[in-house]
Amino acid sequence: MTEIEAHSGYDLGFSLVDIRADYFFDATCQGSVPQALAAFREGADFEDVIRCAVPIGGDSDTIACMAGAIAGAHYGVSVAIAEEVRERLSGVLALFEARFGP
C-alpha cells in the first residue's frame, strides 16, 4: 500500500479496528477511499472484504462498493455469490433488458 499512499496522498497507516468506533459519515473521497482500501487490505477474499467494509459505518454502501470492486478484480467473485445476486436481481434485470436489451 506504500505505493498507493505515495500516489494518492492518503494515509493508509490504520486498521479498521482503529477507526470503527469513531468513524462517521463522510462521502468525500478523502473520507471513504482510504477506508475502502483498508477493507480490501484486511479481507481474505471477495466476501470477506465486503464483510470488513460494511461495519465501518458512515457511507458504508459506497465504501463496500469500492472495496468490492477492488476485491472482485483481485480475487474474483465466487459462482455461488454471482448466482445469488443474479437470482435476487432477476426481476430488475428482466425489466432492464426489456427496456434496453440484453
Does 95 reside within a domain? no
Number of domains in the chain: 1
Does 29 reside within a domain? yes
Q: Are 63 and 32 in contact (CB under 8 A)?
A: yes
Q: What is the band of 75 on the pLDDT scale with cuts at 50, 70, 90?
A: very high
Amino acid at 26: D
Domain containing 72 equals 2-77
Q: Is 78 a residue whose pLDDT tops 90?
A: yes
| Confidence (pLDDT) at 35 | 94
- Average confidence (pLDDT) over 72-91: 94
* Dist. CA 32–CA 28, nearest whole Å: 6
Share of the chain above pLDDT 70, in %: 99
Does 42 reside within a domain? yes
| Confidence (pLDDT) at 58 | 87
Q: What is the band of 1 on the pLDDT scale with cuts at 50, 70, 90?
A: low
CA dist 30 → 12, 27, 51, 65, 82 (Å): 11, 8, 21, 16, 30
